A and B are shown apart, each in its own frame.
Chain A
Amino acid sequence: MAGTQATYSRKDHERAERLRYLGDIALVILGIVVVWQILHMLAGDVAISSPLATAIRAGELLGSANFWPHAGETAKALVYALVIALLIGIGVGTWLGAHKLSGAVAEPILVALYSLPKITLYPLILLIFGLGIEAKIAFGAIHGVIPVTIFTMNAVKNINRVFLRSARVMKLTTMQTVTRILLPATLPEIVSGLRVGFSLTLLGVVIGELFSSHRGMGFLVMRAIGLHDVSTMMAVTLILAVAAVAISSILLYIDNRLHRRT
């Protein structure tokens, strides 16, 4: 049949399309590197190290034993902060989503908190938690908890009430209702919240490290600048940026997959 041929050509077309898309993305990355190189040539080694030099320095750092404790510190703070943000955010978000009045009262407050420069609160955090990792965790969690709450709240609020009524008709237990209906219905939005929450939590942790801290990637940047060591500073920044984009892309991929299903 003629249809078979059409399907083949369509598959080919899709493959070609995909290749072109990846090629375009590579071009964008190339563009960024070229701009960087030009900036380097304009500003010189003292201000901006070249992409190549930065990459080499990043390689050295990744191979050195001194680097990993700092990376580990940042990662640890990030993970703790994110877990706290998720637990509180999902809990509070579920309550605000299920209870109409609380949700309506809280929503503008959450929106206001979301766009505050939370950095102003950092001294308070430091006074409460001291200069250790706890302050960074708390600060990261403060950043991350709000988007997780907002996304969860909206997810729970928008659950189709018919689902819940059918659950009752089908005589599901509470546990079954949660695992079979509530969780699948809200998961895509919660993952979106996690994705935004991840970005903000990392931002919070790193700001914490840039300010009165003695460990972590942010600290490495601040120390390097004190030593006028531009290539290290840029290498650490590069590693952090690439790691952040990589994790965020994975979350974005999962996010898109989950959303396509609904």
Chain B
Amino acid sequence: MNRLTLIRTVVIVAFFGLLEILCRTGIISPFTMIPPSEMAVELWLLIASGEVARGMRQTLGNVAVACFFAITVGFAVGAGVHAVPRLRRALDPFLTTYYAVPFFVFYPLLVFIFGMNNFPMIMIGFLFAVVAMIINTLNGLDKIPRVYRKVARMHHMGRTKTALLIELPYAIPNLFTGVKLAVAYSFIGVIAAEFILAPGGLGYAISFAYDNFDNNTMYALMLFILVLVTIINMSLHAYERRLLRRQGR
């Protein structure tokens, strides 16, 4: 382990240690927060009871669907828009201000229209993630230097071959940034939607526990989501760094 990782680990452990002490000494009241060690124990019990697995299956399922469509649709739209410079210029201001719109205000409307099921949650996750993918696709395609298209022509490659064998591989690291964000944003979208109004899932379980003053379950689940999402996001982040480094960027 290198020095930075070591220091980072120490910082994180110290943070949770401090929380533990504050909770144990009663400086943070047990009605506000339970000690991290108890969260872990509670989480273990919840996992053993199979309750986490059920919520997780629903949440991960919705995230996966939202994410899949965000990535494919986002890439297709990004590539299409990139091919029409005039459209692209007109859309640019909308893309950059897109995330200023607090998207979750659409969620109640979606529930109202489609009913209380998985669809509105997937939709919110999708809407939240798709534009990140579009933006990064445009970005990636922008960055391909013109000289690569000359090289393609020197090799007598047509439009499709150039796209598949030169433009796509060149853009992959940037596209992967889009994928990484799409995953993170789908998680944020789906869990927030579950939290606000939903028939089930991890976010719903937390808000249900909150409404029923069940702090133990609530904190156990919080810990679970935060750890799960951090592991997923950080793995993607590490892989992205590797791709970028390999391409020397």
Contacts and interface: CB of A to CB of B under 8 A. Distances in A.
Q: Per the CB under 8 Å rule, do A and B touch in the complex?
A: yes
Interface of A: 21, 24-25, 27-28, 43, 47-48, 101, 104-105, 108-109, 111-112, 115-124, 126-128, 196, 198-200, 202-203, 205-207, 210-211, 217-218, 221-222, 225, 228, 230, 233-234, 236-237, 240-241, 244-245, 247-249, 252
Nearest to B111: A225
B54 interface: no
A112 B230 contact: yes
Interface string B153-188: 000000000000000000000000000010011011
B24 interface: no
Interface string B213-238: 00000100110011001100110010
A245 B188 contact: no
Nearest to A236: B105
A120 B196 CA distance: 11
A252 B93 contact: yes
Contacts of A196: 99
**Residue with the greatest number of chain B CB neighbours at <10 A, chosen from A24, A120, A210:** A120
Contact of B102 (A48, A234, A240): A240
Contacts of B94: 28
A119 B90 contact: no
Q: Is the contact region of chain A dominated by helix, strand, or loop, or is it mixed?
A: helix
Contacts of A109: 8, 11-12
A230 B100 contact: no
A241 B101 contact: yes
A122 B195 contact: yes
B106 A237 contact: yes
B191 A203 contact: no
B225 A120 contact: yes
B91 interface: yes
Interface stretch (B41-49, B72-80, B139-147, B203-211): B203-211
Nearest to B109: A233
Contacts of A205: 102
B192 interface: yes
A211 B89 contact: no
Contact of B225 (A28, A117, A198, A244): A117
B7 A105 contact: yes
A249 B230 CA distance: 32
Contacts, number: 153
Given A105-B11, A117-B187, A207-B104, A127 B32 contact: yes
B206 A203 contact: no
A199 B100 contact: yes
A25 B93 contact: yes
A212 B11 CA distance: 34
Contacts of B187: 115, 117
Given A108-B8, A112-B234, A211-B207, A117 B89 contact: no
A109 B233 CA distance: 11
B96 interface: yes
Contacts of A121: 222
Closest 3 CB pairs of A and B: A248-B100, A24-B90, A115-B184
Contact of A105 (B4, B103, B109, B181): B4
A234 B110 CA distance: 11
Given A112-B233, A120-B191, A124-B222, A225 B109 contact: yes
Nearest to B29: A127
B192 A21 contact: no
A211 to B, nearest CB: 6
Given A112-B233, A117-B192, A207-B192, A252 B97 contact: yes
Given A123-B218, A237-B105, A211 B196 contact: yes
B55 interface: no
Contacts of A48: 109, 113
Nearest to B7: A105
Contact of B230 (A28, A116, A247): A116
22 contacts: A21-B89, A27-B90, A28-B94, A115-B185, A117-B187, A117-B191, A119-B192, A120-B195, A126-B210, A127-B31, A127-B32, A200-B99, A207-B102, A210-B196, A211-B196, A233-B108, A236-B105, A241-B101, A244-B97, A245-B100, A248-B97, A249-B97
A211 B229 CA distance: 22
Given A115-B184, A117-B192, A206 B104 contact: yes
B102 A244 contact: yes
Contact of B109 (A108, A123, A234): A234
Nearest to A126: B210
Contacts of B11: 105, 109
B172 to A, nearest CB: 20
